[in-house]
Amino acid sequence: MKNKCAIVTGSTSGIGLGIARALARQGADIVLNGFGDASEIQSLCESMSVEHGVRVVYSAANMAHPDETEAMITDAIARFGGVDILVNNAGIQHVAPVDEFPVEKWDSILAINLSSAFHTTRMALPSMKARGWGRIVNIASAHGLVASPFKSAYVAAKHAIVGLTKSVALETARLPITCNAICPGYVLTPLVERQIDDQAKVHGIPREAVIEKVILERQPSKEFVKIDDVAELAVFLCGDAAAGITGATLSIDGGWVAQ
């Protein structure tokens, strides 16, 4: 992947960071994006760059804001000459009954988990077409295929990103560009850590019990999916052996959606 430019949204933490590291290991230049402590992000960029001999730049663009999202893509094209790999990963969660769901949380989840992928895709695709190669990987979720209660906005956004994936795949099917969705089950990241803490408070039970009885209840393996395994699946989809895979939803969920 030498000299390929990979943008990974929401890559200062969790799955996105794992994917950015795995793509850098393959030689891709990286645009890191997301929130966090400025000096920690700077040392993250430097260490990734030194370790893998690639260029790593950071964009603080807020994926809830289309103008900032557009600027991130325009800047990447200016720096690297184009975008070759786009991983739409930024995401947030909020858990509440639909009739109590805060309207601003609904709007944020739809903007960050869904609309940002529309904006990055529409901005990056002309550059992929011009370079004659491209890979778009959307990080959906098991919740892109099946629902859970109290996650209406997340489930709606994740189902919709699966639809977006299929539509973009059909539009690019005759080109050497693919668009696929990865649908992970539960992966132990800060996003899930927050849910464990919240559920422990709600149910008044210890953390270990929340993991076993609440979080992993739907995941037949009874184990968290590993960040590195999701990252390696993304790397595979970005490789030449995956040229024939497009419009697919790839589950990596310990058997969740087989039920």
Question: Residue 115 in contact with residue 109, Cβ under 8 Å?
Answer: no
State the minimum distance, in angstroms, from the CB of residue 193 to ligand NAD. 8
Which of helix, strand or coil describes residue 88? strand
Using CB under 6 A as the binding rule, whether residue 165 contacts ligand NAD is answered as no
Kindly indicate which of the ranges 28-36, 50-58, 73-81, 96-104 contains the residues binding ligand NAD, using the contact rule CB under 6 A: 28-36
Kindly indicate which of the ranges 40-48, 165-173, 181-189, 202-210 contains the residues binding ligand NAD, using the contact rule CB under 6 A: 181-189
Neighbour-count burial of 124, counting CB atoms closer than 10 A to its CB (0-12 exposed, 13-18 middle, 19+ buried)? buried
Give how far the C-alpha of residue 19 lies from the chain's centroid of Cα atoms, to the nearest Å.
9
Using CB under 6 A as the binding rule, whether residue 184 contacts ligand NAD is answered as yes
Kindly indicate which of the ranges 34-42, 75-83, 166-174, 237-245 contains the residues binding ligand NAD, using the contact rule CB under 6 A: 34-42
State the minimum distance, in angstroms, from the CB of residue 128 to ligand NAD. 21
The residue within the footprint of ligand NAD, chosen from 5, 6, 7, 10 (CB under 6 A), is: 10
Across-strand partners of 252?
Answer: 184
| 194, two tokens | 């927050």
The distance in angstroms from the start CA to the end CA of the chain is 37
Question: Residue 186 in contact with residue 192, Cβ under 8 Å?
Answer: yes
Using CB under 6 A as the binding rule, whether residue 26 contacts ligand NAD is answered as no
Q: Is the dihedral of CA 232, 238, 239, 242 positive or negative?
A: positive
- CB closer to ligand NAD out of 33 and 199: 33
State the minimum distance, in angstroms, from the CB of residue 10 to ligand NAD. 3
| Count of all residues that appear for the chain in the document | 259
| Residue type (1 letter), 118 | F
Distance CA(152)–CA(109), nearest Å, equals 10
Of residues 197-256, which lie at the interface with ligand NAD (CB under 6 A)? none
- CB closer to ligand NAD out of 118 and 133: 118
Kindly indicate which of the ranges 32-40, 76-84, 120-128, 243-251 contains the residues binding ligand NAD, using the contact rule CB under 6 A: 32-40
Of residues 106-125, which lie at the interface with ligand NAD (CB under 6 A)? 112-113
The residue within the footprint of ligand NAD, chosen from 53, 97, 149, 190 (CB under 6 A), is: 190
The residue within the footprint of ligand NAD, chosen from 4, 14, 109, 117 (CB under 6 A), is: 14
Look at residues 40, 53, 46, 78 and name the one whose alpha carbon lies nearest to residue 3. 53
Look at residues 150, 185, 160 and name the one whose alpha carbon lies nearest to residue 259. 185
Using CB under 6 A as the binding rule, whether residue 64 contacts ligand NAD is answered as yes
Distance CA(136)–CA(139), nearest Å, equals 10
Which residues are known to be catalytic? 154
Tell me which residues touch ligand NAD (CB under 6 A). Answer: 10-16, 33-36, 62-64, 89-92, 112-113, 139, 141, 184, 186-187, 189-192
